[in-house]
Structure 1
Amino acid sequence: MSDKTRPNGGSDPVDDTESARLTDRAARVAALRPGYRADLADGVARFFEPRRTSCPWCGSERLTTRLRTTDLLQHKPGRFELDRCEDCGHTFQNPRLNEAGLEFYYRDFYDGLGEQKMGGTFGGRTKMYRGRAESMLPHDPTPKNWLDIGTGHGHFCAAAREVLPGTVFDGLDFTDGVGLAEREGRVEHGYRGSFPELAPEFTARYDVVSMFHYLEHSTEPDRELRAAYDVVRPGGHLLIEVPDPESRYARLLGRWWLPWLQPQHLHFVPVANLRRRLTDLGFTVVAEQHTEPHDPVDLLAAVWLALDHTAPREDAPWLAQPPGALRRGLRAAVVLAGVPVLALGTLLDRFAVRPLAHRLGLSNAYRLVARRD
């Protein structure tokens, strides 16, 4: 509403709030730019480990390149490759980010500049979180305590409490979001750090340990699974949900398939591999789900990633300088032109593909429930 149409001639509070938000973000971007410029002064090669010549899952040396891409979400500089093992099917980032690289590419995604955006995204997925909690009901309808690994801001735990009101939920994450989760009361206890390093403190303590879209972020999935075995009490359960690298969407959409999420996702484990590894560790897989964990956003996300890649960049501290008015206008025009295609993608995702996703091999994730014997 403009001043001309408001009875009191004042400004619209909504416009004022948005203007203040944009001004605050611009100031934060400007303050961060010198630090990023220093980080990038010598290029990005220092962020990677040496290239592997063998599969980290089975040791085979029969590797082929599956995907080459860039950072399609933050648009930080760098190119990333995923290799696939021809013997076991494991797909992994190669060369992999080292510790400095992980810090650089995670920075300002879940926290810092990205905290508010990601908090809003995750906070609006209550139905999905309830579904994850409900998947435990046939196996343990009254767990006393539950540890959620990679809990982020704790939104899953808050929603799961509605399904399991008698369960105490704790959360663990390596970002400072877990502190926010504890302060907001979404988790009883929030632990910050590496799960394998903290696991000895929790030996055989929990009825349920969950890893929802966590394992693909870990540098050593096998180490994480061994830690989970130690933390789950005998007779308790481990609940894992990860992207499905065998989804047909992974091939059809190529680099525009959102679950590739480069450079954050380091490992993609086929379901048969994960079942065997859990069995070897001493778990019994009691449930495998493909329909329930499917998130119907593949086509919408692919269109958005392509539009966002084509349009001029939004301002970010890793850019040499902020975009001018012309580039901002061009970006707005490209995004506006893509709105009908985004709407079509949403409709196809939710109403055409979702009911048939598993039957067509398009499910983008799978979930396993495993009992510690």
Structure 2
Amino acid sequence: MSDHDETKADSAKSAEHSKKAKSAKNDKTERIAALRPAYQKDLAAGADRFLAPRRTHCPWCGSGRLTPRLRTTDLLQHKPGRFTLDRCADCGHLFQNPQLTEEGLEFYYRDFYDGLGEQRMSGAFGGRGAMYRARAEALLPHDPAPKTWLDVGTGHGHFCESARAVLPGTAFDGLDFTDGVELAAREGRVDHAHRGAFPDLAPELTARYDVVSMFHYLEHSTDPDRELRAAHEAVRPGGHLLIEVPDPESRYARLLGRWWLPWLQPQHLHFMPVANLRRRLAGLGFTVVAEQHAAAHDPVDLLAAVWLALDHTAPREDAPWLPEPPGALRRTVRTALLLAGVPALITATLLDRFAIRPLSHRLGLANAYRLVARRE
């Protein structure tokens, strides 16, 4: 091929790429416009209607000694509403108070993992194979060859897909209440899909699994204790339960305040100190055989904090929960601010990965912990 022909071919590819990008942008604009009337109708009575009455006692230990720990807004989707996390002075449990109602959960989850957000979140979760394999490897010292594994809150099944490289002889099933789990089955990422609420499905799964995993799932549940009892039901005697959750005792939670990504309001409803969870598991008949902090740490805290602050400061990008699309000036200002923040984002990434990650547990900065528990 001559240089002239190569130049023509490159130009054609560039034009095709530009055409596809423009088409995708137009498609998203049309989808947002189509969704706007329904969102505006939902918000006509205000966002407070999505909150249940405030609790006066801790849902974990029953104590009435509650103090506000954090007040914030939705820093990811920027849907309207204000949210409070309370802390129990007796057991240290943190929880959203008042908590979202079932209608509120539907509203704030809508278009985050599915709909408008499906492609973005699928890309984010799909690119974390090394982290997923490390989670599977945490079981190996305790059971090197489980036959059956149920991943609760599996989403699109990316953990199960990656874990097969660690445990090729294990059958991986997924459970979730969204249609993502059915997509995971169609794509072959899980062997069998269970769609619904885990406590409701647990009786038909009694003692079926060698392993049940809950990776960043319990903090989303309205009743963590009920989920743990369901796990006890689904794990066979001698089998294992793997749990990974944000660590509310991380120093980052205090240092970064509302910009600490694991707060993830309003989706995260409960935050359990590790001692609380260990005691609850023991009461259910589990023995904790491993506790990991550094291994569960996801090195994104500073990067996420910088991004959340930049995104909060910049004018909003178009979304169906906004009354109208932003004008050209607001779009330009947003782009300029985000571009100006690129050096800070790069610096935060380098600090997260190379300076802080090796010392995360020693400095008390690990943002999550992982427990491996055996059902006796």
TM-score bracket relative to the smaller structure:
over 0.9
1:216 paired with 2:219, answer yes
| 1:172 partnered with 2:175 | yes
1:142-169 superposed Cα distances (whole Å, 9 cap, x missing partner): 0000000000000000000110000000
Q: TM-score, with normalisation over the residues of structure 2? A: 0.97
Q: Does 1:328 align with 2:331?
A: yes
2:274 to 271, 276, 281: 271
Q: Percent identity?
A: 76
- Residue 6 (structure 1) shift: 5.9
1:298 matches 2:301 = yes
Structural mapping, 1:199-348, within 5 Å: 199-348=202-351
Once the two structures are TM-superposed, the CA of residue 15 in structure 1 deviates from its matched residue by: 1.3
Counterpart Cα distance in 2 of 1:323 and 1:182: 39
In 1, Cα distance between equivalents of 2:180 and 2:122: 9
Corresponding residue number in structure 2 for 1:147: 150
Aligned CA RMSD, in angstroms, stands at 1.0
Q: Deviations over 1:292-341 (max 9, x none)?
A: 01000000000000000000001000000000111000000000000000
Q: Distance in 2 between matches of 1:213 and 1:257?
A: 15
Report how many residues are paired. 369
- In the alignment, structure 1 residue 102 sits paired with structure 2 residue 105: yes
Instruction: Measure how far apart 1:20 and its partner are.
Output: 1.1
Q: What CA deviation, in whole Å up to 9, does each residue of 1:264-301 have, x standing for no partner?
A: 00000000000000000000000000010100000000
Residue 45 of structure 2 corresponds to residue 38 of structure 1: no
CA distance in 2, matches of 1:352, 1:101: 39
* Aligned AA (2:226): R
Return the alpha-carbon distance in structure 1 between the equivalents of residues 360 and 141 of structure 2. 24
Tell me how far apart the structure 2 counterparts of residues 137 and 312 of structure 1 sit (CA, whole Å): 48
Q: Distance in 2 between matches of 1:228 and 1:21?
A: 42
Alignment-mate amino acid for residue 255 of structure 1 = R
Aligned residue for 1:161? 164
1:364 pairs with one of 367, 373, 376: 367
Unaligned runs of 5+ in 1: none
Matched, 1:14 2:22: no
Q: Structure 1 length as normaliser, TM-score?
A: 0.98
How far the C-alpha of 1:7 sits from its partner, in A, is 3.4
Amino acid at match of 1:29: I
| Closer, same or farther: CA 6–27 of 1 in aligned 2, 3 Å | farther
Partners of 1:113 and 1:176 lie apart in 2 by 14
Distance (Å, rounded) in 2 between the aligned partners of 1:74 and 1:240 = 27
Q: What is the identity, as a one-letter code, of the residue corresponding to 2:268? A: H
Amino acid at match of 2:314: A
> Which amino acid is 2:41 matched to?
A
- Which runs of structure 1 show a deviation greater than 4 angstroms over 4 or more consecutive aligned residues? 8-11
Secondary structure in structure 2 of the residue aligned to 1:142: coil
